[in-house]
Structure 1
Amino acid sequence: MTESELNDMLKHSPDEGHRAVFDQYYNYVYAVTLRILRGTVSMSDIEECVIDTFADVMLNYDPENGGSLKAYIGTVAKRNSINMMRKSNRKSFNTVSIDSDDFGEIVSGTNVEHTAENRNVSEALINAVKALGEPDSIIIIQKYFYDRKSSEIGKIVGLSPIAVRARTSRAMKKLKNILADFC
């Protein structure tokens, strides 16, 4: 079923439309959620996050908006998964009672140096991708962050899939040079 058919169904019969959206995108949402949360939370938490994603979509998606339903669902799934991971990480920190006379050394599971280095690398990468300019930056983000195919990206930026692949190749070479200057 196409997105336009799903949007029409959501407009005319919301209950049937929500069921069709669930049936069509369950595997997609589960894959996005699993990729982000694997190894950090239990499988029941992952399933809960998937259900929360569909609840958010059903409550907040406006079929009149005209945006991409799949992109909206993917974004909601990603954000819900990241929020669940953050909550899980907050719960996993060790706590020490204030009433205790012996505080000892509080050890964090976080490697501050590694975290700071990752943040610097992430910022450099984002700045390098932005420096590519449009449409190359859009193509790189859609290809490697959203894992979209060349045909899907071509529809977004108004290019043929062949042109998208060629621009991706050239943009990756530019990106390599920009990042080599950084390092």
Structure 2
Amino acid sequence: MEDNKLLRLLHKDPNAGMEQLMNQYTGLVYAVVKSKLDDSYYVSSDIENCVADVFSKFYAELSDYDPKISSIKTYLCVIARNQAINVSKRRSLEGGISLDDEQSLLQVADDVIIDSELAEDELRREVIKAVEDLGEPDSSIIFRKFYYGESSKDIAKAVGLTVSNVDTRTHRALNKLRKLFGGNEV
């Protein structure tokens, strides 16, 4: 079902809408969560509970969701990744594994290709679109700094700003992007 139809159904009949959402995206959400929690330390019930939490969080944040910014698929993938990371962090704080081991596991999990390469490609496109939507000069600053690895000094010369201004704009733009994709502001 297309996003706009699914959103209408979610608003008109939340139960039917959530059922359709789960039927349509459970496999994808499961794959994202499993890629982050795929370890002998996590049992299938941990993964299933995390998947259920993803859909609960989506429903709780439904009023915050903006279809102009990202597709439902991308939004769910971001929530799934964040929920899985939170589960992993909680587990390490409970003393299950050391934080160093967890970081290593998360790094390995990040390198694992999730079940749907389309989801990763779409997420990449959404990030690029979000950066472009920041407008000039912020989008140029972000692309130059993080895609091309240019220094703040070189960027400042290229866009006609001070180094301090480039750093401030970078910080603010990253906060906008983090907020947009469900992360915490710094």
TM range (shorter): 0.5 to 0.7
Distance change (3 Å), C-alpha of 1:8 and 1:109 = closer
Task: Give deviations 1:68-108, integer Å, cap 9, x for gaps.
Answer: 211221111111100000111122358xxxxxxxxxxxxx6
Distance change (3 Å), C-alpha of 1:60 and 1:42 = same
Aligned with 1:85 (options 85, 88, 93):
88
Task: Give deviations 1:23-54, integer Å, cap 9, x for gaps.
Answer: 10100110000000010421111111001111
- Counterpart of 2:100, as a letter, is T
- Aligned Cα RMSD in Å? 3.7
- Counterpart of 1:17, as a letter, is G
1:110 alignment counterpart: 100
- In the alignment, does 2:98 pair up with 1:153? no
Secondary structure of the structure 1 residue equivalent to 2:50: helix
Distance change (3 Å), C-alpha of 1:76 and 1:44 = same
Q: Contact between 1:7 and 1:63, CA under 8 Å: does it hold in 2?
A: no
Point out the structure with max Rg over C-alpha.
1
Tell me which of the two structures has the higher relative contact order, counting C-alpha pairs closer than 8 angstroms and 6 or more residues apart.
2
TM-score, scaled relative to structure 1: 0.53
Distance change (3 Å), C-alpha of 1:110 and 1:65 = closer
Distance change (3 Å), C-alpha of 1:93 and 1:51 = closer
Gaps of 5+ in 1: 95-107, 119-143, 158-170
Gaps of 5+ in 2: 108-116, 130-142, 151-186
> CA separation in 1, counterparts of 2:25 and 2:64?
16
Q: Contact between 1:36 and 1:82, CA under 8 Å: does it hold in 2?
A: yes
Count of matched residue pairs: 119
The alignment-based identity, stated in percent, is 24
> CA separation in 2, counterparts of 1:149 and 1:63?
20
- Per the TM alignment, residue 147 of structure 1 is displaced from its structure 2 partner at its CA by 1.2
Task: Write the mapping of 1:7-18 to structure 2, written as runs, cut at 5 A.
Answer: 7-18=7-18
TM-score, scaled relative to structure 2: 0.52
- Counterpart of 1:81, as a letter, is A
> CA separation in 1, counterparts of 2:122 and 2:24?
18
- Counterpart of 2:82, as a letter, is R
